[in-house]
Structure 1
Amino acid sequence: MDQGLSSREACERVGINLRTGKRWRNGRNASGKDKARPPILEPLPTAGPSRYLREADRVHIADRLREKASIRTIAAELGRSPSTISREIRRNGTALPGDGHRLAYRPHAAQARADTRRPRPKPRKIGQNPELRGFIQHHLDRKWSPEQICQALRDTFPERPEMHVVHETVYQALYVQGRGELRRELAGALRSGRARRKPHRQANCRQPRFATPMVMISERPAEVEDRAVPGHWEGDLILGKDNASAIGTLVERHTRYVMLLHLPNGRTAEHVRDALVETVQTLPAHLVRSLTWDQGSEMAAHGSFTVATGVPVYFCDPASPWQRGSNENTNGLLRQYFPKGTDLSVHTPEDLVHVAAELNGRPRKTLGWETPAERLHKLIAA
């Protein structure tokens, strides 16, 4: 019956009558001289976590299949993915005699099959196959990555599925204690050099990026977004060869006016903070209302910058460069003067002033063909 046969078909296959088969399956109570006998196989509990199909779900699937309902209709009725229903039928259905392409779905047999597969732990593929284990161990000794090894297995044994594993199976055999499928010292052959897997923290459990809490861009005043009020700046760094040198860039959102930060001694948080404080103090107070930056480590001292200047700093979301669109566009223009892969520390403060003056002297279509310098001078005069 676990193979999908009905009770009568199973009894005929074994060679017993239907009543005996029922007694074997269900056991019997004590009666007269007859002693009580338990079932041959104790039924496993059918109720599991909600993520699994229950017996009632399988009965519903069988009923709706007899009514010729589609897979998607059944999935919608059960609140499941269509792939869950099709996979259930494919795994636990029984091929019809004489037609191996058609499946009969019997819910109670399907539930018994699922309950039989559920217990853990299960024997692992690597632990059961010495040839597979030896192949993996040999290539780990040669410093191959698990993913390279798994691809080599498919290329070397294309017609032998028992020799095919995914790279996560290899990692599990190396990292999970107590399995003993691969020698523990082979974990040292991994490029990470770790003998234990390093878990990825959940987002809500991660340590704060900076000691001073970040104020995110979602909390930035609405006046910054529409560019109607001047004095809101965007900042970033452009990096030189091997990330060993850098230049800071500041762009005013209303006028697109550019200022460059000279960082001859490095781009640590303290160096960037000092350069920002020095630059901001050269501007009128009404033209420095806020600063928006990405979450780079160079802004770890943003709290002390705000204390020194009174300018709040807002941080963009991770991997969201469009939230500083003016600054990203300006950085692209600056690469005409500071190409990628060059040493940026050779440029003097005078060089940076000259480059910024050239950019601020270019007419901009978005400003009605005025230059950023002209627009800023009007604001200062007003």
Structure 2
Amino acid sequence: MSEFVLTSVKNHIGFITLDRPKALNSLSLDMVRALTTTLLAWQNDASVRAVFIHSSSEKAFCAGGDIRFFYDVGTATPKGDSALLEDFFTEEYALNHLIHFYPKPYIALMNGVVMGGGMGIAQAGEDCRLRIVTERTKMAMPEVNIGLFPDVGGGYFLSQAPGELGTYLGLSGEIITAADALYADLADVFVPTSGIPALLGLLEQTDAADIRVAIREFAAPFTAQIQPENSKLAIQRDVIDQDFNGNSVKAICEKLQENNAEFAQQTLAVMQKRSPLLMSVTLEQLRRSAAMSVSDCLRMERNMVRHCFKHGEVLEGIRALVVDKDNTPRWSPATLVEVSAEQIAGFFAEVWPAHAHPLRHLAG
């Protein structure tokens, strides 16, 4: 078990507290294993009727995977060929799958930063989940900023967002707030941080057949106040749907270039800093994911992440952002014009035979 994952059971609810505040609760392999062990133990425990996962810090729910760890182990071996990396991503994706099909209510309080791997442990699931945001929520799938793609099932939940909102979020990596998250169907209810003590009291005292119903009733007045229909994504929806359709990042950027709207120009400027290759790979991922199950998406992403570390784009992105902090990644290729269809297709090539895929056991 991990010292950064605290667990308890109160009122038949299993509480998971992420407690690695100095690292914004970035997930380590030990944390992934602790979460998996806990959820498996509670899965068939009749005394645990629901799960509530949150953070000990208001700054972050979970900022994602520990990318400095990725860099350290990825650069220590040729072409990122590290057993620790293999273990991390295989076990993280298996955890995302476990949460997605969890048979009990799974409630995530996404207070503060929630990005990458944090989205994976909050967005997973459909039938039994409840996703809570606050005024502190800063949500993103920013992987293209480090030469990666929106993994942890990101292809699945982004491709399910209305219109081209998921395409915009995946290609730009931009941060959104609570109202945007609700509008994009990446959250269910809003509770202000001032209401969290009362929310926890509700969880610890209410004898509800389905605790999600009680939380929705508690949150309804707060959710109505923030008006998702007036969020930035709602206001820019027409531009996003018009400019982010199609299967070419180059064409998307050309449409943004021709659009004089301030939002379009700001978005273009952001995308010009991202990895041209991984934006192109991400767009292909999202288009493929739209017709795939979550299990198939996770298996596809497991192949993709292996290609990312072999290529080295993600190691260069982390170097520029986190290690040297020069913010001048040397992307390869350097421009969208240089990205070929063959390069994109290479990220979807099978790394393992079907019978040997590390996630071959995933069902659904």
TM-score bracket for the superposition, by shorter chain length: under 0.3
Normalized per residue, the structure richer in helix is 2
Which structure has the bigger radius of gyration?
1
TM-score by length of 1: 0.19
